Structures are given as C-alpha cells and as structure tokens.
C-alpha cells in the first residue's frame, strides 16, 4: 500500500509571526531584516504587500528600499519563531508521531498508520490540519500530499498560501515532470547547472535520462535524483521523538547580488548567526568550533574553521569569530555569492555553562581565568558537578544578560 506523506510549509513564516504580535504590520509592506539600521542588512522575509513591490528574500535593505521606499523593517525574533514552530509541530503531532521538521517552518508527516482513524481522504485531512493551524496559531500553511517526501515537498510549493495540493501516482507526471529540476529536493544551483549542460532542464527529462549516464556525471547522487524524479523516494519520515541532537547547526544564504567588503559581509554574517545562536539555545547546547564556507560567483568554495577557547552560544562571539575567519581567508576583498556559518563541536549546555558564565561575569585576564578554573575544578571535585552556578543570570525570556 502506498504511504500517505504530507509536507507542511508555513507561508512567509518570519513575517507571519511578526504580524501575529503586531497586526498593524498586515496593512503595510513589511520585511524582517537582519541588522535593520544598516543599509547592508539582509531581507530575511517579507509580507505579501512587500512581495507585490518585488521585495525579495536575501537581498540587501537598500536594494529592497529602491523598489519600495515605504518598506517597514522589523528585526528578527528567532526565539519567538522557534516557539511558534514548536506549537505548529504540536498540532501535527495530534495526527502522528512521525513528524520530521525540515528547518524551522517545514515538516514532513507520515499519516499512513493513522488514516484509518479519520473518515476522510488524505487531502481532506490536510485541509483539516491547515484549518487548525490557521485558527489556533493564526498563520497559514500550504500542504503537499503524496506517496513520498520528495513529491509532497513539491506539492506544498505548488499552490500557496493556505492551499493543499495532491500529487498522486495518477497525476505526478502531469504536475511534477514539467517543473524545473532545481525544484527537486537536494538539487542545488550547481547540480542544476550540471544537469542543464546535459540537456536536462525539467524533472521529466531527468526521469527519462539514462541512470547510468547520470551516475557517471553526478556519482551516487545521479542515481538518487533519477529515482526521485520517478517517484522512487522511499526514505522514511522519522519520529519527532527520536531525533538526535544535531552535530552542528549551520545557516547559509545565497545572496541576490554578490556581496563585497567588511560592511556587507558583516551584515550577511550577522543575519546568518542570528538564527544559529537561537537554535543553539533551542537545543540547549553551545559550540566549540565555528566554521565558515565562502562561495564566490564562479562557485569556488573556501572553507575555514577554528576551535574556540571556550564554548559559546553568544551571537556576538560567533559573529566576530566568523568575521576573523573570513578576513584571514581574504574574503573581505572579493565578491561573495553565498555564505554559510556553522556552529560545530556542540556540547550540552550543562557541560559548558558554568565555565563560560563565570568567566564572562568576571571578565578577567587569562591568568585569573586559569586560577578560577582551578578553583572550580576543586569545588566540583568535592561537591559534584552541579554545585556551581555563580555569575549566571538568565532573563525571563531565556536570553543571556551578557548579550545585547
């Protein structure tokens, strides 16, 4: 029997969440932007009115303002986005425990085993879930319904906002095959360019291509993509409750226009790190390694990483570390097409917290830190690991006092 897979995608997520707390923003062209005071700040999301002016995600504020001078800018509130994201997933979990978040505003659901509980078709059940998110949370989602993840994902993108699209065994050739290959899950710009060079521009052309030939040019991925194009994605949807702690948390962006120079790069890095830092908190962990990946307009990639002296989840520390990596790699003097910042070497918050927060509270020299560390070690040895919470202050919203 075919599976029933849903892909649920929140429409204009960041902007929708901002409009929840500030309804007046519904009536003006509005965008969420990292670093809104800087003209180099990056547009992260926009509402429908701003979209009508041509405002695009991943462009700079000054580009957006050229098209829409009255654009209202709002700084991002990533912790709020995570909170709402959890509430939305909680609704999905009323239907199945096979809920697999794919980023902050999308989830795959496998409803195969629960369909018998509901006297309706999969698409009708998708409509019910959609209506619940709209009425209980106040935002809209679009839903793709299919027999595999890859087609469900294409379905959620097919019609939006607030719509359901069914992609079945019967209609997938009609709906999916005319789409551009770049719409397919895991086909990036580079893979799309490689395929296009072989005369493969649509999913249908990919489906009809010789899989052996694809493997020769794309490796293992070639066979996988061929399978995907023919509806052969059999990957399971994982349980919400059995997700592993991530090994790293990264965020990347391909900019609308290449960026160059300290100010533009800093604005880009800062937009990326905002959400990385929020996710570190969300997962209750800190990072000991910061990585950057810089892609130039010719797709050449430079990767750099460094190990931190102490674990952190502070955005300012991650931003400065990423900036010095990029500076050292000569990245401030050339065109950058895409940037990724990754927090790696993650450690659980309770392993890292004591050291960091005592140090930042004292803000002392390295020598003093050494001696504090020695003292802490001694106290912990005698009284146990959880015995020290000095200098640690959490605001009610969960953020650190030390971070602005």
Instruction: Quote the least distance from Cβ 22 to Mg ion, whole Å.
Output: 20
Given 105, 233, 274, 317, the residue binding Mg ion (CB under 5 A): 105
φ, ψ dihedrals at 201, nearest 5°: -110, -30
DSSP conformation class of 159: S
* CB < 8 Å & 24+ apart, contacts of 279-283: 279/78, 279/82, 279/249, 280/249, 280/313, 280/343, 280/346, 281/79, 281/313, 281/398, 281/399, 282/79, 282/82, 283/245, 283/246, 283/249, 283/346
Only segment of 98-106, 235-243, 293-301, 358-366 that touches Mg ion (CB under 5 A): 98-106
To the query of whether residue 353 is one of the catalytic residues in this protein, the response is: no
Contacting Mg ion within 109-138 (CB under 5 A)? none
Nearer to Mg ion, 9 or 110 (CB): 9
CA dihedral 189, 306, 274, 29 (to 10 degrees): -40
- Concatenate the DSSP letters of all residues of 196-216 into one string: HHTT--BHHHHHHS-HHHHHH
Size of the site for Mg ion (CB under 5 A): 4
Q: Closest CB to Mg ion belongs to which residue?
A: 105
Min separation Cβ 11 and Mg ion, Å: 6
CB nearer to Mg ion: pick between 10 and 280:
10
Contacts of 199 (CB under 8 A, 6+ apart): 205
* Shortest Å distance, C-beta 141 to Mg ion: 8
Catalytic residue among 18, 59, 106, 353: 106
Kindly state the smallest distance separating residue 84's Cβ from Mg ion, in Å: 12
Q: How far is the CB of 43 from Mg ion (least distance, A)?
A: 15
In the window 3-42, what residues touch Mg ion (CB under 5 A)? 9-10, 13
Environment class of 193 (CB within 10 Å of its CB; exposed 0-12, middle 13-18, buried 19+): exposed
233 contacts Mg ion (rule: CB under 5 A): no
Q: What is the DSSP letter of 386?
A: G
Smallest distance, Mg ion to C-beta of residue 105, A: 4
Residue 143 or 167 with smaller CB distance to Mg ion: 143
Q: Which residue has the tokens 């399971």?
A: 236
Cα pseudo-dihedral 61, 63, 67, 71, rounded to 10 = 0
Beta carbon nearer to Mg ion, 158 or 359:
158
Stretch that binds Mg ion, among 100-108, 182-190, 211-219, 370-378 (CB under 5 A): 100-108
CA–CA gap between residue 137 and residue 56 (Å, rounded): 25
Query: Which CB, 9 or 400, lies closer to Mg ion?
Result: 9
Rank residues 105 and 353 by Cβ distance to Mg ion and give the closer one: 105
Residues interacting with Mg ion, by CB under 5 A? 9-10, 13, 105
Catalytic residue numbers read: 106
């Amino acid at each position: 029997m075919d599976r029933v897979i849903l892909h649920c995608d929140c429409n204009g997520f960041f902007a929708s969440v901002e409009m929840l707390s500030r309804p007046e923003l519904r009536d003006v062209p509005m965008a969420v932007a990292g670093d809104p005071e800087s003209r180099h700040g990056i547009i992260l999301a926009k509402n429908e009115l701003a979209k009508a002016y041509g405002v695009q995600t991943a462009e700079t504020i000054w580009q957006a303002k050229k098209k829409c001078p009255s654009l209202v800018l709002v700084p991002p509130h990533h912790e709020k986005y995570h909170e709402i994201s959890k509430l939305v997933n909680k609704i999905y979990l009323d239907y199945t425990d096979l809920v697999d978040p794919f980023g902050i505003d999308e989830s795959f659901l496998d409803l195969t085993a629960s369909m018998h509980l509901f006297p309706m078709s999969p698409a009708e059940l998708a409509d019910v879930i959609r209506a619940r998110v709209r009425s209980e949370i106040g935002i809209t989602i679009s839903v793709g319904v299919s027999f595999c993840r890859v087609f469900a994902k294409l379905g959620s993108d097919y019609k939006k906002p607030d719509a359901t699209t069914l992609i079945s065994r019967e209609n997938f050739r009609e709906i999916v095959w005319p789409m551009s290959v770049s719409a397919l899950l895991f086909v990036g710009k580079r893979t799309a360019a490689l395929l296009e060079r072989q005369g493969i521009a649509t999913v249908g052309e990919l489906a009809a291509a010789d899989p052996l030939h694809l493997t020769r040019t794309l490796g293992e991925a070639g066979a996988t993509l061929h399978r995907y194009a023919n509806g052969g994605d059999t990957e399971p949807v994982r349980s919400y409750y059995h997700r592993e702690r991530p090994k790293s948390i990264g965020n990347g962006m391909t900019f609308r226009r290449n960026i160059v120079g300290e100010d533009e790069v800093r604005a880009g890095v800062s937009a990326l790190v905002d959400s990385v830092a929020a996710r570190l908190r969300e997962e209750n962990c800190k990072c000991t390694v910061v990585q950057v990946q810089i892609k130039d307009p010719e797709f050449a990639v430079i990767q750099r990483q460094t190990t931190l002296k102490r674990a952190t989840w502070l955005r300012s520390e991650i931003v400065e570390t990423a900036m010095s990596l990029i500076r050292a790699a000569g990245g401030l003097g050339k065109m950058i097409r895409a940037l990724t910042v990754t927090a790696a070497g993650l450690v659980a918050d309770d392993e890292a917290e004591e050291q960091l927060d005592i140090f930042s509270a004292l803000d002392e020299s390295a020598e003093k830190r050494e001696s504090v560390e020695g003292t802490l070690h001694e106290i912990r040895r005698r009284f146990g690991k959880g015995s020290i919470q000095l200098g640690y202050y959490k605001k009610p919203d969960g953020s650190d006092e030390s971070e602005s």
